[in-house]
Amino acid sequence: MKTTIVTETEFRQQLSALGYHGDKMRIVTVEPMDADALEACTAKEGECFYNSYMNVIYGKGERYVLGYRCEEPPVDHAIIRKGERYFDPTLQIEQEGFSGYQYAILAEFTVFDMMKHAKSNKDFPPDVDYLKSKKSKFKNVIA
C-alpha cells in the first residue's frame, strides 16, 4: 500500500474541500501500540470501524475516534484513544514497520455515546456518512 504524505496546510485545505472546517480540526499523531496491547486488540484487516468499535466496547481503548488519515487523498478512518494517546491497531497489523502517522479528528465517542449513535445507525459504528447525516450535531467540524 503506497500512500502520499502531504503537509499539514495541504491536508487542512483538502479537508475544507471535503466540506469540513479544516482550519479548526485537531490533528494528532497516531502511535504504534506495544506488542502486548496490540495482541489483546481486535484487529481484522481492513475493518477499522469495526475494530475500533469492538476495542472500545471491550476496554482496549477509552474512546472511538473518527476522522481522516493525513494522506493524498485523505482517508476516512476510525482509531482508538487510550489516555492522551491515539492508536490504530488495524493499520498496525497491516503494515510491517508501522511507525504512526498524522490524523485529523472529526469526533471522539465514549463507549456510551458510541453505542447510542450505533443504535440510531442500524447498529453500525459511527462513520463519516453518519456524521454528515447528523450535521447539526457536529457543526464544529462540518461546514
* pLDDT digit string, tens, across residues 18-75: 999 999 999 999 999 999 999 999 999 999 999 999 999 999 999 999 999 999 899 9
Q: Which domain holds residue 115?
A: 8-129
**Over 60: is that where the pLDDT of 2 sits?**
no
Per-residue pLDDT at 3: 63
Backbone phi, psi, residue 36, to 5°: -65, -45
Closest CA to 132 of 122, 142, 124: 142
Per-residue pLDDT at 121: 75
Assigned domain for 25 exists: yes
Predicted TM-score (pTM) of this structure: 0.92
**pLDDT tens digits, one per residue of 89-115:** 999 999 999 999 999 999 999 999 888
Length of the chain: 143
Overall number of domains in the chain: 1
| Residues contacting 107, CB < 8 A, separation 6+ | 65, 66, 67, 126, 131, 138, 141
Place of cell 459504528: 125
**pLDDT tens digits, one per residue of 124-135:** 888 898 889 888
